[in-house]
């Protein structure tokens, strides 16, 4: 099969996008990307823990009963639930789980404003694996400690 020279820019661009995403871990949709916040980005007021989200009218929120003297020390993992049994990367982020200074676990959820009823999907599939804690094939987890390592996108 022979391609005309007019297709060459498209072929080169496609190869560049694939290489950029695979090798440099750069998002193809940076404006819609969210990720589990880093522990140092999480603030607390009494027993309520929050972190700003990139998306307008959204915020990461979690409650830890008896956690007023706790600080967030470590990220454990993010949990993502696929909406279909076959892996298509589309679903909902269940929560991001953190360890506190007192040894407790804190679950943060992305609270979207009322205007958002968004589908979520995973771009960096290699970071998300079947969950070791849940036998369901639709539950994925990510334990990457990298900045935006457990990223997902809002549609």
For 32, the token pair is 């819609």
42-47 long-range contacts, CB within 8 A, separation 24+: 42/72, 42/98, 42/108, 44/68, 44/70, 44/71, 44/72
pTM of the model: 0.76
d(CA 106, CA 55): 22
Where helices occur in 8-79 by DSSP H, the ranges are: 8-24
* The pLDDT of residue 4: 53
For 134, the token pair is 């849940």
The residue ranges of the chain whose pLDDT is under 70 are: 1-31, 85-87, 114-118
């Amino acid at each position: 099969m022979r391609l005309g020279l007019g297709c060459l820019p498209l072929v080169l661009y496609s190869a560049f996008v694939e290489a950029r995403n695979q090798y440099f871990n750069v998002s193809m949709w940076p404006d819609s990307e969210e990720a589990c916040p880093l522990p140092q980005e999480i603030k607390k007021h009494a027993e309520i823990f929050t972190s700003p989200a990139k998306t307008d009218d959204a915020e990461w929120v979690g409650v830890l009963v008896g956690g007023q003297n706790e600080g967030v020390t470590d990220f454990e993992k993010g949990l993502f639930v696929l909406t279909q049994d076959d892996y298509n990367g589309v679903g909902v982020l269940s929560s991001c789980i953190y360890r506190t200074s007192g040894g407790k676990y804190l679950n943060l959820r992305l609270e979207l404003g009322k205007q958002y009823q968004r589908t979520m999907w995973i771009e960096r599939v290699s970071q998300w694996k079947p969950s070791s804690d849940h036998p369901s094939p639709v539950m994925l987890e990510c334990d990457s400690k990298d900045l935006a390592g457990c990223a997902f996108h809002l549609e």
